[in-house]
Amino acid sequence: MTLRIEIDNLAKHFGEIKAVDGVSFSVRKGEVLGFLGPNGAGKSTTMKMLTGFLTPTYGTARLCGFDVLQNPIEVKKNMGYLPEGAPAYAEMTPDSFLRFIADIRGLSGADKLRAVASAAERARIKQVMFQPIETLSKGYKRRVGLAQAILHNPPVLVLDEPTDGLDPNQKHEVRNLINEMAEDKAIIISTHILEEVHAICTRALVIANGKIKVDGTPTELEAMSRYYNAVSVKVVGVESEKVMALLNGLDKVSETELLPLDAGCRAYPVSGQAMVAELSQAIRSQGWEIATLHVEQGHLDEVFRNVTTDQAMQGAA
Amino acid sequence: MQNIWFIMKREFNGYFATPVAYVFIIIFLLLAGFSTFFVGNFFERGEADLYPFFSMHPWLYVLLIPAISMRLWSEERKTGSIELLMTLPISVFEAVLGKFLAAWAFTGLALLLSFPLWITVNYLGDPDNGVILAGYVGSLLMAGGFLAIGGCISALTKNQVIAFVLSLVVSLIFVLSGYGIVLDFFSGWAPKALVEAISSFSFLTHFDAISKGVIDMRDVFYFVSLIAIWLFANAIVVNSRKAD
């Protein structure tokens, strides 16, 4: 069974509001799916339905082959879930909290102690194990929630904003942890931090207004950006306007623009194709000397904005 | 089944993680003692029993049990931990039962700590300890009834104060429906069957006999089925409102 998560035409309507409106996708073992979208797009609602907390208006979800409507207990056994905001029992210590989770997960004796110790180790919370959770910082609370989710080494992990509220070092650690676990699990993480997509996701899914807008690898997502394979160049001793005129004459260049602060100019390719070789050759054939030249990556935030704002939707309709 | 025990254990320990447990137990014992001696006239009656103690319990519970039951579910809903709990591999009934049993065990503990009264009455006279035991059993059953009502109501709201006030009012209705003044109000005009029906719903009617040492299975059945019905309703409410 390589398909660990199958979401089938899942929808949740709250009265007139279609929070999730017919979403289908699947995640296989080894995949880390980044679930992107603006606030209120339906990310958390989808996750709540997948984990059996919310009942869908229609559609269903299967996790490791178990249907969440027909067999919710089996679904819950096979997943670890970090809900939005990482709720926990504030008056408990991480130690007693994780022991409680281990009890419910059917672990006892040495297995239980080992699972608690290992989860604490991996989530880096060993130093706060005996302080009440309510006294912990936001970052530690989040990691206690993460420890709870990975405690029983589940085949599926559903993490709702796992790095929200963490400082850059903690984010780095959590991403490492997710990367470590990625190989033998299917993982869904929701985030609105776009840099995260490159750092951990093998696939990204953009959702807006309850519908899936884009489903592809991070690179495919970037390729949708107008900056993808664009080239910024500055030539020694030649006015940028002149360079632009030259570049505009090339077949692969669709348009050029002047960069501010005397940083040269940028050429955009026709339909995202690579053109740096032709471009540098053209410049050198003029006898000009290149001062700086670099190929742009796609800008994920631009893609994100384009697919999730109303304008793009009207364009697509 | 084991899950019920794990949930109960967690919930029970939760009471003692904050001063709430200690404050509750102390207030309960103070009020119980006060009402026994000053309202129930323990000494003046000159009888070696704990009837003055038990007869005040319905009123004590109306006031104090909602303070225990109010947090059962509304706190989970407010902090969002209900999402964690209900996505663990447990059923709603296990969660409802585990929480209820924790609150019941806690109330039982508070009740048990009134043992100095039992020692006192044994020191002063020669009471029928079987009657006293029956009183404790009846009181515990009645506490279970109040807790089941309060637990269900606490699942209706995220606000503990609302849960407290609503539970208090509903509990009061269940007690007052057997109180003389209320029954007199109905008996003037309502058919006898209705008056009896109203009275038969009252905690007072069913508790009174037990507290005098008469354990009638019908009274036990009343409390057990009342608890069952409210717990069932509790599960339905949790299921339908957990994500609101």
Task: Output the domain CATH number for residue A292.
Answer: 3.30.70.100
Residue A263 in domain: yes
Residue A121 in domain: yes
Q: Taking CA atoms, what residue in B is nearest to A103?
A: B6
Instruction: Please check whether residues A160 and A77 belong to one and the same domain.
Output: yes
The tens digit of pLDDT for each residue in B107-161 reads 999 999 999 888 888 888 888 888 888 889 999 999 999 999 999 999 999 999 9
> What was the pLDDT predicted at A310?
60
Nearest beta carbon to residue A83 from set B80, B89, B90:
B80
- Owning domain of residue B157: 2-241
Query: Are the Cβ atoms of B6 and A100 closer than 8 angstroms?
Result: yes
Instruction: Please check whether residues A72 and A142 belong to one and the same domain.
Output: yes
Domain count, chain B: 1
Backbone angles phi, psi at B202, to 5 degrees: -80, 140
- How far apart are the CA of B61 and the nearest CA of chain A, in angstroms? 26
- Owning domain of residue A25: 3-223
| Angle subtended by helix axes B203-211 and B57-69, to nearest 10 | 120
Instruction: Please check whether residues A242 and A138 belong to one and the same domain.
Output: no
Instruction: Please check whether residues A119 and A238 belong to one and the same domain.
Output: no
Instruction: Please check whether residues A61 and A86 belong to one and the same domain.
Output: yes
Give the largest Cα separation in chain A, rounded: 77
Instruction: Please check whether residues A122 and A192 belong to one and the same domain.
Output: yes
Domain count, chain A: 2
Residue A190 in domain: yes
| B209 or A121: which leads in pLDDT | A121
Instruction: Please check whether residues A189 and A252 belong to one and the same domain.
Output: no
From CA A162, how far away is CA A148, in angstroms rounded?
A: 12
Q: Taking CA atoms, what residue in A is nearest to B81?
A: A87
**Helix runs in chain A, H state only:** 43-50, 72-77, 94-104, 109-122, 138-150, 168-182, 195-200, 218-223, 240-248, 276-285, 300-308, 310-316
CB contacts < 8 A, A to B, total: 65
Q: Which of A165, A199, A223 is the last residue of a domain?
A: A223
Q: Complex ipTM, two decimals?
A: 0.88
pLDDT-based confidence at A1, cuts 50/70/90?
A: low
Instruction: Please check whether residues A292 and A169 belong to one and the same domain.
Output: no
Chain A interface with B: residues with Cβ < 8 Å: 48, 51-54, 73-74, 76-77, 81, 83-85, 87-92, 96, 100-101, 103-105, 132, 145, 148
Lowest mean pLDDT among A232-246, B44-58, B148-162: A232-246
Query: Are the Cβ atoms of B84 and A88 closer than 8 angstroms?
Result: yes
Q: Which residues in chain B are closer than 8 Å to A90, comparing Cβ atoms?
A: 79
| Angle subtended by helix axes B217-241 and B129-154, to nearest 10 | 20
Instruction: Please check whether residues A287 and A217 belong to one and the same domain.
Output: no
List C-alpha distances in Å: A152 to A140, A141, A309: 20, 19, 40
Average pLDDT for chain A: 85
Residue A34, domain CATH: 3.40.50.300
Residue A315 in domain: no
Q: Which of A161, A195, A223 is the last residue of a domain?
A: A223
Q: Which residues in chain A are closer than 8 Å to B84, comparing Cβ atoms?
A: 81, 83, 87-88, 145, 148
Instruction: Please check whether residues A111 and A159 belong to one and the same domain.
Output: yes
